């Protein structure tokens, strides 16, 4: 006598109740507020905004809380929300040259107009656990840096002034920037779509790929021309009005990597560039992105494609962590029908094998 | 905080522009049977790999008069089937059923129902890897060329190598088929037992691969032939004993382990088929004689 | 009626459900060539385009789908109607058109002038919506191919005399080629590129 299991619905409902319970945790502690996450876990919020391609700190913080701090899960939640939003239009390209800069460093020059601005960085902190953070010790409040209104010259502009670095990536006349969240993917990709994919790509994956280029898998002799973090204006062109309307400011991190020079009989030797741009403060991601961008331009510069980071189809097909986590984790769904098919075949092959062994035995004895 | 309209979603979740885009892809897929139409798959509120392609296809075709059935591994009560069914009940208030015969749309993962499908029914498959040549050639740019040139030699070589090594074709599920003599197609990871049901089916068969962004189709009454060789013809799995619950023969069975002493039984993977048979008095060797609960 | 009312009225009253039911009818006809679908179009495009063709346009076209129109339609209020209700751009390049609309009694251009798709992407071809006089009562054709059990007999009235020849050329380009949607009144029928059309004696 056998009674099969039923009750998927009840099991799921109970699992979700349990999830809510564990998410809340110890009821003796106050619940964490969205504002607290935005203010005190800001870099987690920034990563979620960047990889979800949605600039909204509160919603990103909500997603982080809902995901119990699992950032890929939070990115997924925010993306699923983003996909339902209507599209009003496409903003004009942001001008990072006009950025209100909070941090700006260059590795290629000791000093430069506007200077090196360290900003709120972990760099040069000693990574010693800080007992003062166990409690709520008062932290000195700092005044905001004054907006001098003076734009900070970009390092790439300094090099471009001498013609020593290639031009800012241009697009062909009439090219409308693509959007891979609205169009099917097709290889090879134009660089605009590739950069979009990288900007949404998993930080860890890009970090590993960027690292691999430094270890000789498509080495590109990179120098950090400049990293800048700050606020930029977003503007929308309204055809009815005939001019652009400012929508507000967003924080972005831009990395311009200056790489080994190229030249030919026709073009004089000049440095090449890799580019990284992400929402919020995401320096590691922007740097890794710029290394991978440069590696993916191999064919453009007539370099041999020999390393994973240079392989566009490989990189872009596997850089999206929402896709990757879904497909890896789907292996835990029931597969017993397929498994049964394999089980049946293996048993059959075992029988054939054993039968063959048995018929072989007398010969072996001879 | 921008939360005013967080909870308002369109009928069947997708916005109308997305539905139009998917509908256009479906029409082209029907017009070119077995060809994988690229589409701009959307992020869905369930993970990639968990049926987002099938869910998008279902959402694009679903209307208020439809009756939806969702199965996973042939069963209506597997957790992911329950979850997808609940999703459509929530976002489309659609009528649902477990009865194959009553459904107008059946979304499935890994099985084709045992009951013969009827005209007017649409079977929507969830597809993880739509490209039948993917495991022979990982590059999309290459496999696209192979389909364009109808260059399927690699697939035959692979199947033949199986025979040389094992004496059998060692593909037991996701067994490649040729559609209407032109495109080699992945039937999704259904056991090859189900392949013959695709051939000249009365139902429209739609395939959605969300993560891989492809939609393809087999219209009704369309030739679907499993690849094979003259000296090694295509064969489906057969089972020694009938279903232990309902006694059905010539159906696909799941193996259920009963104890730690090697005890096991085989029962229908298609839970609706089994229930229907039990309800009409069929009994297998281990049938429970009280009320049938599955 | 003023041009403005022609342009700003006549869309789906309930776009979500009405376009869904038009789609299901069309999908069923595309999947089963020879089947005649019947449904209230629920839209009112500016003349000379008929209601059913207008319903197909609003159901499938938007800013992503350049639409080609016959001179008769391009000169009507239809481009503005499509722009207002669907956001669909009109193109005079048949090779980039995702959809084309031919009103009743207008000349059906050679099918090979429209986008055919490529061997790599045969789906990138034009879907042509042709208004005919009636789905019945014309010269009979026998249809075979995917979606058809054995054969289907149809007799659309209002197709060009040389239609069977035009179609067999289209058929030969498979997997490339155009797909046809025929509309008349509240009726609709489809010819996907896979369908083989055999002329019969009337």
The band of C1, judged by pLDDT with boundaries at 50, 70 and 90, is low
pLDDT at C178 over 90: yes
Residue in this structure with the two tokens 């870099």, named with its chain if needed: A43
pLDDT at A2 over 80: no
In angstroms, what separates the C-alpha of A188 from chain B's closest C-alpha? 8
B278: CB partners within 8 A, 6+ apart: B245, B246, B287, B292
3 state DSSP class of A60: helix
> Could you state, in order of their start, the residue ranges of all structural domains in chain A?
10-82, 96-120+148-168+184-321
- In chain B, which stretches have pLDDT less than 50? 1, 292-294
Please say if B247 is a catalytic residue: no
pLDDT of A365 reads 47
The chain B residue lying nearest A184, using CA atoms, is B40
ipTM greater than cut 0.95? yes
> What does the block give as tokens for A83?
């996909």
Domains of chain C and any CATH numbers: 3-192 (3.40.50.11310)
Of the candidates B201, B154, B195, the residue with the CA atom closest to the CA atom of residue B173 = B195
pLDDT at A128 over 80: yes
Please say if B34 is a catalytic residue: yes
> What number is the average pLDDT over the span A152-175?
82
Whether B48 sits inside 8 A of A341 (CB atoms) is: no
Mean pLDDT of chain A: 90
Q: E-strand spans in chain A?
A: 100-105, 223-238, 243-262, 270-279
A246: CB partners within 8 A, 6+ apart: A233, A234, A235
C125-163 pLDDT, tens digit each? 999 999 999 999 999 999 999 999 999 999 999 999 999
Q: Identify the contact set of chain B against chain C, taking CB-CB distances under 8 A.
A: 10-11, 16-17, 19-21, 23-33, 35, 37-38, 60-64, 119-120, 144-145, 148-149, 180, 182-183, 204, 217-223
> What does the block give as tokens for A12?
């799921």
pLDDT of A230 reads 96
End-to-end distance of chain B based on CA atoms, in angstroms?
A: 47
**Percent of chain C clearing pLDDT 90 (strictly above):** 93
A99-126 pLDDT, tens digit each? 999 999 999 988 888 889 999 999 999 9
The answer to whether the CB of B257 falls within 8 A of the CB of B63 is: no
The band of C202, judged by pLDDT with boundaries at 50, 70 and 90, is low
> What number is the average pLDDT over the span A218-239?
92
pLDDT of B293 reads 47
The answer to whether the CB of C62 falls within 8 A of the CB of B17 is: yes
pLDDT at A185 over 70: yes
The answer to whether the CB of A229 falls within 8 A of the CB of A253 is: yes
pLDDT at A327 over 90: yes
pLDDT of A362 reads 58
Please say if B208 is a catalytic residue: no
Q: Using CB atoms, which residue from B61, B120, B148 is nearest to C119?
A: B148
The band of A360, judged by pLDDT with boundaries at 50, 70 and 90, is low
pLDDT of A76 reads 96
pLDDT of B23 reads 98
The chain A residue lying nearest B237, using CA atoms, is A341
pLDDT at C183 over 60: yes
A251-281 pLDDT, tens digit each? 999 999 999 877 777 778 888 999 999 999 9
The band of A168, judged by pLDDT with boundaries at 50, 70 and 90, is confident
Write down the catalytic residue from B34, B54, B210, B284: B34
B16-42 pLDDT, tens digit each? 999 999 999 999 999 999 999 999 999
Whether C64 sits inside 8 A of B21 (CB atoms) is: yes
All residues of chain B having their beta carbon less than 8 Å from the beta carbon of residue C147 are 30, 219-222
A248 by Cβ neighbours in 10 Å (0-12 / 13-18 / 19+) ranks as: exposed
Model-level pTM?
Answer: 0.91
């Amino acid at each position: 006598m056998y009674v099969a299991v039923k009750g998927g619905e009840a099991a799921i409902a109970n699992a979700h109740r349990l999830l809510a319970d564990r998410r809340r945790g110890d009821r003796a502690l106050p619940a964490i507020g969205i504002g607290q996450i935005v203010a005190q876990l800001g870099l987690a919020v920034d990563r979620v905004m960047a990889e979800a391609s949605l600039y909204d700190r509160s919603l990103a913080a909500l997603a982080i809380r809902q995901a119990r701090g699992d950032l890929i899960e939070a990115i997924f939640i925010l993306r699923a929300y983003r996909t339902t939003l209507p599209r009003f239009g496409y903003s004009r390209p942001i001008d990072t040259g006009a950025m209100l800069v909070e941090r700006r460093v260059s590795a290629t020059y000791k000093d430069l107009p506007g200077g090196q601005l360290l900003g709120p960085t972990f760099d040069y902190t000693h990574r010693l656990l800080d007992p003062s953070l166990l409690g709520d010790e008062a932290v000195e409040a700092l005044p905001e840096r004054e907006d001098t209104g003076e734009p900070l010259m970009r390092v790439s502009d300094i090099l471009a002034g001498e013609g020593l670095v290639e031009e800012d990536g241009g697009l062909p006349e009439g090219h409308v920037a693509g959007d891979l969240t609205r169009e099917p993917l097709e290889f090879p990709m134009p660089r605009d779509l590739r950069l979009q994919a990288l900007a949404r790509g998993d930080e860890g994956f890009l970090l590993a790929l960027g690292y691999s280029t430094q270890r000789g898998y498509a080495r590109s002799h990179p120098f950090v021309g400049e990293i800048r973090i700050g606020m930029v204006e977003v503007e929308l062109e309204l055809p009815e009005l005939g001019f652009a309307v400012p929508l507000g400011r967003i924080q972005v991190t831009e990395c311009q990597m200056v790489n080994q020079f190229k030249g030919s009989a026709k073009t004089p030797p000049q440095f090449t560039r890799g580019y990284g741009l992400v929402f919020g403060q995401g320096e590691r991601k922007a740097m890794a992105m710029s290394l991978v961008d440069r590696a993916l331009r191999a064919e453009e510069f007539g370099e041999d494609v020999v390393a994973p980071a240079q392989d566009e189809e490989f990189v872009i097909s596997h850089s999206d962590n929402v896709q990757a986590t879904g497909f890896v984790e789907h292996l835990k769904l029931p597969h017993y029908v397929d498994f049964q098919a394999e089980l049946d075949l293996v048993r059959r092959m075992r029988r054939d094998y054993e039968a063959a062994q048995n018929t072989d035995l007398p010969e072996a004895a001879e | 905080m921008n939360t005013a309209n967080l909870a308002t979603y369109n009928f069947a979740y997708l916005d109308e522009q997305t539905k139009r885009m998917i509908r256009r892809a479906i029409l082209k897929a029907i017009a070119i049977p077995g060809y994988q139409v690229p589409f701009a798959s959307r992020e869905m509120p369930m993970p990639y790999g968990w049926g987002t392609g099938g869910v998008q296809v279902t959402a694009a075709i679903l209307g208020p008069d439809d009756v939806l059935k969702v199965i996973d591994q042939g069963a209506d009560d597997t957790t992911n089937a329950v979850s997808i069914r609940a999703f459509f009940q929530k976002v489309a208030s659609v009528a649902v059923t477990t009865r194959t015969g009553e459904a107008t749309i059946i979304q499935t993962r890994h099985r084709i129902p045992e009951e013969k499908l009827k005209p007017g029914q649409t079977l929507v498959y969830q597809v993880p890897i739509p490209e039948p040549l993917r495991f022979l050639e990982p590059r999309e740019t290459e496999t696209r060329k192979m389909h364009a040139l109808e260059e399927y030699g690699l697939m035959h070589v692979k199947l033949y190598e199986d025979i040389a090594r094992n004496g059998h074709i060692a593909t037991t599920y996701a067994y490649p088929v040729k559609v209407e003599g032109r495109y080699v197609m992945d039937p999704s990871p259904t056991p090859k037992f189900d392949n013959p049901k695709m051939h000249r089916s009365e139902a429209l068969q739609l395939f959605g691969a969300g993560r891989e962004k492809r939609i393809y189709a087999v219209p009704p009454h369309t030739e679907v032939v499993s690849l094979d060789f003259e000296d090694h013809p295509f064969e489906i799995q057969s089972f020694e004993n009938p279903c232990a619950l309902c006694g059905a023969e010539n159906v696909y069975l799941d193996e259920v382990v009963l104890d730690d002493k090697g005890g096991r039984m085989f029962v229908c993977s298609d839970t609706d088929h089994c229930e229907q048979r039990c309800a009409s008095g069929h009994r297998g060797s281990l049938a429970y004689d009280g009320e049938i609960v599955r | 009626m003023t041009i403005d009312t022609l342009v700003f009225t006549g869309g789906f009253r309930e776009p979500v459900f009405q376009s869904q039911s038009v789609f299901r009818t069309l999908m069923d006809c595309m999947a089963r060539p020879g089947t005649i679908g019947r449904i209230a179009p629920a839209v009112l495009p500016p003349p000379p385009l008929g209601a059913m063709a207008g319903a197909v346009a609003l159901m499938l076209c938007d800013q992503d789908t350049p639409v080609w129109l016959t001179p008769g339609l391009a000169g009507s209020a239809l481009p503005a109607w499509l722009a207002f209700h669907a956001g669909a751009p009109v193109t005079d390049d048949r090779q980039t058109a995702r959809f084309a609309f031919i009103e009743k009694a207008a000349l059906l251009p050679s099918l090979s002038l429209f986008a055919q798709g490529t061997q790599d992407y045969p789906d990138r071809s034009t879907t042509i919506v042709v208004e005919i006089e009636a789905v019945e009562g014309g010269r009979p054709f026998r249809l075979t191919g995917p979606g058809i059990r054995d054969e289907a007999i149809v007799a659309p009235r209002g197709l060009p005399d040389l239609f069977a020849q035009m179609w067999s050329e289209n058929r030969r380009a498979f997997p490339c080629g155009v797909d046809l949607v025929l509309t008349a009144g509240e009726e609709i029928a489809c010819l996907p590129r896979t369908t083989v059309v055999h002329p019969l004696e009337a």
